[in-house]
Every structure is written in structure tokens, then in C-alpha cells.
A and B are shown apart, each in its own frame.
Chain A
Amino acid sequence: MASTTTVTPGRTVRKVQPIPQTRNRLELALWLFMRYSGLALVFLALSHFWMQHVLIGTHEIEFAGTQLRWGITGQPVTVEQVIWRAYYAVMLVLAVTHGINGVRQVAYDYFGHRPAIYKGLMSVIVAVAALISLGGIAALFMGAAASGGEAALR
């Protein structure tokens, strides 16, 4: 702080208290989350995309491949399959939360002035997203259905 008789050359550095209001802290946390999850997703999402959609190619994706990576419902899983499951689980959680918060931001921009609509919209989106991702997670940990392969062979 400026003194009255002498001045320290160079720049003053000051500290402030952490921002106390939880609501505001949430905005900050989400803002940070968007950036860090984004950076993580660069590796996760891009590697997945390149693997599945470019290297293998959508046209080559068969149910059998999924069974191989996830394991099959009710059967023991290999170490490799656990790693695959973890990889997909992390990506799924990050992508969904990142995406949902993204949608929340967009919705707040355009519908924030109508709280009722905004809240309604957000509930629907969150509900649908929760359902889908729960399904996704469950599927991941249950593995692909054993019968699926047969269907593919038919």
C-alpha cells in the first residue's frame, strides 16, 4: 500500500480473500472445469474419434469389436477390458458434464431472461442427459450383450 513518505519501486502485489459466496464460487469452478476438462478431452475424445471413426472406420465397426473391448455381460473381464472400460468411463463423464454445462451456458444466454423457461429447459436437458449417461455407464460396466454377436452374424 502506498506509504506517505517513501515509495517502494516496482510493483505492489496484493492478496484478496477467496470469494465467499457459494453461488459465485460455482461459476468459477465450472469455468475452470470447462477449461481443464476441455484439455483432457483433447486427448480422450480425439483419440477415440481417430481410432473408431478414422483408423477402423465406421463401416468396419461390428458388434464383435464392442464385445471385444468391453467384455460380454456376465463373463469375466480381462485387464485390457478394464482399461478400456476406464478410458470410456472417464471420457463419458467428462464429455457429458462438459457438454451439459456448455448447454447450460448457451441456454442461460438466450433464455436466462425467462427464468421459468430456462429452468424447464434445463430440467429436461439434465434429465435426458442423466438417463442417457446412466445407461451408458451401466452398459459399460455390464459389458455388451452376449446375444448381440449372433444378431450380427445373422
Chain B
Amino acid sequence: MPQYHQFDALVVGAGGAGLMAALYASKGVNTAVISKLYPTRSHTGTAQGGISAALGNLEEDKWEWHAYDTIKGGDFLCDQDAVDIMCREAIDAVIDLEHMGLPFDRTPDGKISQRRFGGHTNNETKKPVMRACHAADRTGHMILQTLYQNCIKNNVKFFDEFQVIDVLIEDGKCNGVVAVQLATGEIHVFHSKATLIATGGFGKMWKVTSNAHSLTGDLPAAVLRRGLPLEDMEFFQFHPTGVYKLGILLSEAARGEGAVFINDKGERFMERYMPTLKDLAPRDICSRCIYTEIREGRGIGGKDYVYLDFRPEQINKYFEADGNPKRIDAHYLETRLPDIIEFARVYQGIDPIKEPVPIQPTAHYAMGGIPTDNDARVLADETGRIVEGLYAAGEVACVSVHGANRLGTNSLVDLVVFGKRGGIAMAEYCKQASFRPIHRDAAAKAGAAQLDRIRNNNGNERPHAIRKEMQAVMDEKVGVYRTGAGLEEAIDKIHELQARYKRIRIDDKGFKWNTDLMEAWELGALLDLAEVTAFAALARTESRGGHYREDYPNRDDVNFLKHSMVWKNGTITLKYKPVRITRIPPQERKY
């Protein structure tokens, strides 16, 4: 029997964005959070390096500089009014987190400690600035824990281990979601006035990725199927420092503390490409430089990786070369980067204090996603019409504050700022709106049918084989370097895989904790997202930020200073909308 619940506000996803929204929404209206993982398992917990805010605790800093860096880092595709909001409100948001109990590291005079991060500069000297607030190298963990703790304190209602599989949209308005309770396999219909989607990234399209197994884009796919568009899907960030072969992230904080890239010749190659920021250049640039080194035969041993070197004596050597008076030792690194050092020790058997660590770019962050306005309201089309009652925040949303490439630490800023704005906006909306009627039985039936189709399908394809092939083709053709021909091949391959997906067969026919079924369902979502990603990438015949076309290596502001919007109604439609430029005109991106 399907079950039925009614709440004023629903939050789907219990990562940083979802919990922030829930905290603020629950202050005003009856709110519930639905998450397919226990909240503390969300991927926000893996974020390492920090959260930026121009607190100026250690050296001079201004939120305008932060905004400028963000816009430049985003290769001028950011909507500048949104960036201004984010960078200005970041300061209060970080202070807010501290008041909630977040154990930031401290400066000697007791303030929140800050460190350097890629792309964050003093606009006047052009030198890196200490802007990333941190709690060792587990800042995300502490944000997630702190927010969850405060939700417990405020008695927020949680539906843990409920996976949302459908969004109820009727006449351009959202009335809730349909979810399956993983423990029982039962369908639950959640009826709401306002729903906020905060389900995070969808990096599992790729094989080498820093993303968790759970980041499968369930909700973006669901809204896509409900006829809503996704924005800027071609922009996906490849983080330069993933653990070789595994993709586990070694945070930029390592380079913030002084680590450098080294090629086969032992050369600090970033000096050649980016003379000012060097190893702290934005991620898209570093990833491409690494691949260029590899392609030109200077990967380690001629293979497809380079080294990240954080041996203290090497760091000190480079500090000296850069004229930086700072000197560090092994103990300093062990306290500032304990987790990262442990990752290398556990997964590669390498002690980073003594040896350089093999790294490779890894699929990391979705700049694109569900289009929203500055109050997290979801947009229905390129004209800015909103979907009443539907909100999105966090990595899943595209505001767009990250443009074509996100700066390190800015995602956590995005989560807390827009999560909070979304929560407040929902509460306000709920107070004046009333529940719209829904057809709960029909909704439940449609949800159940989605799953039963997979459960009872009698095909001969194993979902895992399809997933593997999808990830391989995405790594190869829709990765750091892209070409028109490659993208076309990728689309063909994805279409083939989608056809084969119709013939899958799973082993587990049961209801309780049927992870076989849910993984197969998630694969369907990933295939849809892979398809629109490749499509949007094919149409953008320029190179900008995270999207690099070898056949169109230059940025083309004349034709492509615009956001893409992609629909999938049987066929795929692409439209574009302009970028909101308020203060900073596009310029060439040099560091």
C-alpha cells in the first residue's frame, strides 16, 4: 500500500544545501527532509579544503575581490548579480556556521583561520590570498555534521533512506515528490506546497571521479523527464588532483599549503603555463596543463599521470624560489592535511611526506544543473518563467555562480548561501500558498510502475556492463579534451546503451533493500544526463572553462557568451539565454 504524507515544505537531499534549506524553512513552516542516504553520509562530508569568504582575518580581503575571482575563474559565464550575492553573503554565512558550532581552525588571536586556494587572489597585487576558511582538511565534514546537529537541535523531521524517483509537476507547478522507502520497497507520496531539490552532483557518469557512488543525478533526470530544462550541462569540472586510477580527491588545499606539480623531468611545469599563480591556477587550467604534459610525453615514465609533490623540503625549496618567507615541516603538514596524507598512504601505499604522489585529473563537479533564480526558484525556460513551488540549491542547481568553471571552495559557499536563501524563500511562499490537489493514487502507481518495469524486465543485459561502457565513453570522449567527432561518437554510443538499457535484467526481484533495482534505476538517470551533456557539449563550438574543444580551442564571446538550456521531450532541444553581466566585462583569462 502506498503511503501518503503532507508537509508545507519538502527538502530532497540532506547534504549541505538541503540541511541549510531545511534549517531555515523549518523555522517558519512544517518541513521534512527526504534523503536516500543517512544525512551524515552525504557527499558534502567529503569536501576537504575549505569554504571561502572575504573575512580578511589574516590579510586584507574584500568580497568584491572574491566576486571578481569567481567571475574570472568561471570564464565570464557567471551571472554576475548572483555572484555578488554569493560573495557578499558568504561572510555572514560562514560566521553563521561558526555560531552554529562549526569547529573552524583558529588563528593565534582566536579568529577563523584561512588559507590559500586556487584562483583566489588579491586583485591589486594579483598574488594568492588567504580566503578559504577551514577545519583541518575536513571542512565539508564539519559543515555537514554541524548542520545535521542543528537540525536535530531544532527537531527537523527526516525521512532517511527514502529515494525520490519522481517529481509531481502539473500545469507548471510542483506539488511534491514520489519516493521509495529503501528498507521496505514501499512507495510514499509526499504532498507539499514547496519542494527544494538539493541532491548534489552526478559525476558517476564518468569512471575516474571524485564523486560518491550515490551521486547519480536522480532528480535532474526526473525533472528532465517531467519536461523541465537543465542548464549548462556541458560544463563539468575535472579536478587536477585525483588519486591515480581511483579518482579519490586530494584537495587543492595541498597546493594551498605549498604542494606543486612535477612532470617526468622533475620540472615544476605550471611555472611555464601560468607564471603568476603557478600551481594555484584554476582547476580547468591545471587539468589541461597536466594533460598537455602527458600528451607531450612528459607524464611519469611516459604514462598518463604526473606527480603532486608535497615533501616538506621540496615545498620549502619552492617557497624560497617564490620569495615566500614561510617554511614548513612534516608536522605542520600532518596537522593541516591529515586526511589527504592518509588517503595517499592507504590507497597508494605512498607516504607523501617522503615521496611524490601520482595524480590524474578526476571528474569532480557539475557547474550545470537545474536552472534557478537568485532565490533558488527553478526556472521553466530561457525567459526566466518560474516553476511554482519548485526550488533547487547546491551542486544540483545552476544559479549560475560558477559559470564555466568553479573556483575551489566556492561550492561550499554556494551551498550555504543559496541553501539558506532557498529555505527562506520556501517558507515565505508556503505561508501565502495553499496545497494544490494531487492524484495521489495515480502518482503512486506511476512511481511503482517505473520500478516494476525494471524489476520484472526479462532481458539479457547486465546493468553493470552498460554502466561500465557509459563511463568509459564519457571518460574518453566527454572528458577534459573534447572534439566534435568524439562527441558524436559518444552520443551514438549512449543511444546504443539506452536501447540496451531497455533490455536489462536484474537478479533481485524483492522489495526490501533492493539495491540491485535502485542501481539499475539510477543507471537510467545517468544515461539521460550523459546524453544531454554530450549534446550540449557538441553544440558549444568554443572552449571555455571546463569545456575544452580541441577543434575550437578559443573562447568565442561573440557566439557563446550565453548559457545553454537543454530539454529532452522525446528528442533533445537546445536553447540559449544570455549571461547577466553587471560589473565586470569579459576579458582574457590570464594568471
Contact = CB atoms under 8 A, between A and B. Distances in A.
Direct contact of A and B (CB under 8 A): yes
Chain B contact patch, size range:
under 10
Nearest to B111: A7
B437 interface: no
Contacts of B108: 9
Interface in A1-26: 2, 6-7, 9
Nearest to A8: B110
Q: Report whether over half of chain A's contact residues are helix, strand or loop; otherwise say mixed.
A: loop
Contacts of A6: 109-110
Interface in B101-127: 108-110
A5 to B, nearest CB: 10
Chain A, interface residues (CB within 8 Å), range = under 10
Nearest to A4: B110
A9 B110 CA distance: 8
A2 B98 CA distance: 13
Interface in B77-109: 108-109
Interface in B325-351: none
B228 to A, nearest CB: 47
A33 B410 CA distance: 55
**Is the contact region of chain B dominated by helix, strand, or loop, or is it mixed?**
loop
Q: Which of A2, A6, A7, A9 gathers most chain B CB within 10 Å?
A: A7
A153 B390 CA distance: 100
A2 to B, nearest CB: 7
A9 B109 CA distance: 8
A9 B108 CA distance: 8
Contacts of A7: 109-110
B126 to A, nearest CB: 33
B486 to A, nearest CB: 56
Interface string A69-104: 000000000000000000000000000000000000
B274 to A, nearest CB: 38
Nearest to A7: B110
A6 B109 CA distance: 7
A15 B108 CA distance: 25
A6 B111 CA distance: 10
Nearest to B106: A7
A7 B109 CA distance: 6
Contacts of B109: 6-7
Nearest to B107: A7
Contacts of A9: 108
Nearest to B109: A7
Interface in A34-77: none
Contacts of B110: 2, 6-7
Contacts of A2: 110
A85 to B, nearest CB: 59
Nearest to B110: A7
A6 B108 CA distance: 11
A59 to B, nearest CB: 60
A2 B109 CA distance: 12
A125 B108 CA distance: 59
A2 B99 CA distance: 12
A2 B108 CA distance: 14
A10 to B, nearest CB: 11
A3 to B, nearest CB: 9
A32 B109 CA distance: 40
A81 B7 CA distance: 81
A99 to B, nearest CB: 42
A6 B110 CA distance: 8
A30 B368 CA distance: 61
B102 to A, nearest CB: 14
Interface string B462-503: 000000000000000000000000000000000000000000
A131 B109 CA distance: 66
B187 to A, nearest CB: 36
Nearest to B108: A9
A115 B588 CA distance: 76
A2 B110 CA distance: 9
A93 B110 CA distance: 54
Nearest to A3: B110
A97 to B, nearest CB: 41
A2 B104 CA distance: 14
Nearest to A9: B108
A7 B110 CA distance: 6
A6 B107 CA distance: 12
Interface string B176-203: 0000000000000000000000000000
A116 to B, nearest CB: 33
A74 B108 CA distance: 77
6 contacts: A2-B110, A6-B109, A6-B110, A7-B109, A7-B110, A9-B108
Sort A-B residue pairs by CB-CB distance and give the 6 closest, nearest first: A7-B110, A7-B109, A9-B108, A2-B110, A6-B110, A6-B109
